C-alpha cells in the first residue's frame, strides 16, 4: 500500500451506506463490536486496549461523522473550505469526520453540526447515545443551541446614564430600548 493510499477510506457498497449513517441501538453496537473483535483477533483487542480506543464509542460516533461528511459534500464544500468558514483548523474537522474520538473537540463538533444544519438530527443521536454524548462533552440541548442563536441577534451597549441600551431588530427597523 502506498503512502498516499494508506489514509483513504474504502468506498462502501450502496447496501452498506445506510448502515453507516443510521443511529445504531445498543444491541446492534454490542453485536457488531463483538463480531469485529472476533474477526480481528486478539491482536486487535490488545492494540485497542493499549491505545484506549473503544470500538463501541467509534461505532456510536460513526453516524455523526458520516452525516457531517455527507452534508458537507452535498453542499459542494471541501474540508478546507468548511474549516475556513468555521475559522477552525482543518485537522479538527478531519478528526471529526474520521472518528478520531480522542481528538474530537465537542465545541468545534457542535459548531460544525450547526453549520451544516444537522442540529435536529444530532439531538436524536444524543438522546440515543446519552451517556457517550455526555462523556464527549455534548451536554447542550438542541433548544439551548436555538436559544443561543436567538441571543446572538441582540446586542447590549452601556448608555451614558449608566443603564444599558438594547439593540432590537424587527420588521426592518432597528430601535434602541433603555433597560
Judging by DSSP bridges, how do beta strands 164-170 and 155-158 pair with one another?
Answer: antiparallel
Residue 92 CA from chain centroid, whole number: 11
Q: pLDDT by residue (tens digit) across 136-172?
A: 998 865 445 455 555 555 444 444 444 444 445 555 5
Amino acid 27: pLDDT: 80
For residue 141, the number of C-alpha atoms closer than 13 Å in the C-beta half-sphere is 3
Domain contains 66: yes
Domain presence at residue 149: no
> How many domains does the chain divide into?
1
In a domain, 8, yes or no: no
pLDDT in tens, 69-115: 999 999 999 999 999 999 999 999 999 999 988 899 999 999 999 99
3-state secondary structure (DSSP) of residue 140: coil
Is the pTM higher than 0.75? The answer reads no
pLDDT value at position 8? 46
Ranges 18-22, 62-66, 173-177, most confident: 62-66
| Residues contacting 177, CB < 8 A, separation 6+ | 165, 166, 168
Does 6 reside within a domain?
A: no
**Running DSSP on this structure, what letter comes out for residue 116?**
T
Classified as helix, coil or strand, 173 is strand
| 82 falls within a domain | yes
Position 155 in a domain:
no
Biggest alpha carbon–alpha carbon distance for the chain: 73
Residue 53: the pLDDT is: 75
For residues 97 and 90, the answer to whether their CB atoms sit within 8 Å is no
pLDDT at 171: 54
85 is a domain residue: yes
Q: Decide if 147 is inside a domain.
A: no
Domain span at 29: 17-140
Pick the closest to residue 69 from 12, 127, 25, 2 (CA basis).
12
Amino acid at each position: 500500500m502506498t503512502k498516499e493510499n494508506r489514509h483513504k477510506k474504502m468506498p462502501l457498497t450502496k447496501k452498506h451506506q445506510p448502515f453507516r449513517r443510521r443511529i445504531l441501538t445498543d444491541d446492534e453496537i454490542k453485536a457488531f463490536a463483538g463480531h469485529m473483535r472476533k474477526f480481528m483477533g486478539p491482536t486487535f483487542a490488545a492494540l485497542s486496549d493499549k491505545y484506549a480506543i473503544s470500538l463501541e464509542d467509534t461505532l456510536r460516533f460513526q453516524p455523526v461523522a458520516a452525516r457531517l461528511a455527507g452534508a458537507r459534500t452535498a453542499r459542494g464544500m471541501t474540508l478546507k473550505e468548511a474549516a475556513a468558514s468555521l475559522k477552525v483548523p482543518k485537522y479538527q474537522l478531519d478528526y471529526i469526520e474520521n472518528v478520531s474520538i480522542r481528538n474530537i473537540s465537542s465545541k468545534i463538533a457542535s459548531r460544525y453540526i450547526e453549520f451544516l444544519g444537522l442540529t435536529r438530527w444530532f439531538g436524536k443521536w444524543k438522546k440515543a447515545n446519552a451517556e457517550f454524548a455526555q462523556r464527549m462533552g455534548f451536554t447542550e440541548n438542541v433548544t439551548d443551541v436555538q436559544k443561543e442563536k436567538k441571543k446572538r441577534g441582540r446586542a447590549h451597549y452601556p448608555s451614558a446614564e449608566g443603564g444599558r441600551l438594547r439593540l432590537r431588530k424587527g420588521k426592518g427597523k432597528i430601535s434602541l430600548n433603555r433597560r
